[in-house]
Structure 1
Amino acid sequence: VVFLRKGSARARLYSLAVAAALRGHGIGGVLLDACENDARERGCTHLRLEVRSDNAAAQRLYQRRGYRKFASRPGFYEDGATALCYEKIL
């Protein structure tokens, strides 16, 4: 799920999910490519997202794909977990 705001050059990746049984097969990367391409086609120059601080696999995926951490948000998730904020220039 990607959110786009009219007049904004930034898109926000709200949710990217892969079934547990299918993780590690490159599906997350394919979905991320699709999100980035769609955002570019719609005129966005940046893609932002939040990821749980305890989700090391997702953090590695985003970092390998050129995302840079720019902030953290303590208590962001319903269970009180911290979110790490990432951004990529498209």
Structure 2
Amino acid sequence: MSWQLRRAGVGDLDAIMRLETGIFAADAWSSETMRRDVADPNCYYLVAFPPDEPERVEGYAGLLSPRGAVEGDIQTIAVTESVRGRGLGRALMQRLLAEARKRGAREVFLEVRADNPVAQRLYARLGFEEVGVRRGYYQPDGVDAIVMRLALAEPEAALAEPEAQS
């Protein structure tokens, strides 16, 4: 299956919140918090959908990365259970990392639940390294968060070749 990604807007909030509350039942964000992030110009949120069904959101992800800041933070990412394991999470993450690089970030951080080895493997495959643990971070169930960091490569500037002299 293939998906299209688009920048999320406030009009996507209902679809995002259906996924948010369905996937993260115990520690879902409030719709007010999600609305604030989606509308914040320092954030970059994406939704993913089948090409012929733009209203059917299968995943979303968000990045906090103010332009010119050296650090970015993956705020959230979620993919419906029915499409997990098909590369959508990776595609969302790669697009967020590209946006962070474009905004000038040199490193990106994220927190992942200690009891989510599938997500931890995805992040490790993308180059993230564990840098710490936040004890009891996820509430109300008190699950630890593993803090991970990715150093972004500097954008490569190509030098123009000098024109040949005749």
Structure 1 equivalent of residue 80 of structure 2: 19
SS of the counterpart of 2:89? helix
Q: Distance in 1 between matches of 2:78 and 2:107?
A: 21
Alpha-carbon distance, 1:4 to partner: 1.9
Structure 2 equivalent of residue 2 of structure 1: 63
TM-score by length of 2: 0.53
Higher relative contact order (CA 8 A, sep 6+): 1
Structure 2 equivalent of residue 67 of structure 1: 128
Q: Distance in 1 between matches of 2:64 and 2:115?
A: 24
Greater Cα radius of gyration, structure 1 or 2? 2
Q: Distance in 2 between matches of 1:31 and 1:22?
A: 13
Q: Distance in 2 between matches of 1:6 and 1:24?
A: 32
Runs of 4+ residues over 3 Å off in structure 1: none
Structure 2 residues not aligned, in runs of 5+: 1-61, 153-166
Structure 1 residues not aligned, in runs of 5+: none
Contact 2:72 2:105 in 1 (8 A): yes
Amino acid at match of 1:80: G
Amino acid at match of 1:75: G
Structure 1 equivalent of residue 33 of structure 2: none
1:40-69 per-residue CA deviation (whole Å, 9 max, x = no partner) reads 000001110000000000000001111000
Alpha-carbon distance, 1:5 to partner: 3.8
1:6-62 per-residue CA deviation (whole Å, 9 max, x = no partner) reads 652000001011101100000000000000000000000111000000000000000
Q: Percent identity?
A: 36
Summarize the alignment of residues 71-90 of structure 1 with structure 2, pairs less than 5 Å apart.
Answer: 71-78=132-139, 79-90=141-152
Q: How many residues align?
A: 90
Q: Considering only aligned residues, what root-mean-square deviation do their CA atoms show, in Å?
A: 1.0
SS of the counterpart of 2:143? coil
SS of the counterpart of 1:31? helix
Q: Distance in 2 between matches of 1:4 and 1:65?
A: 18
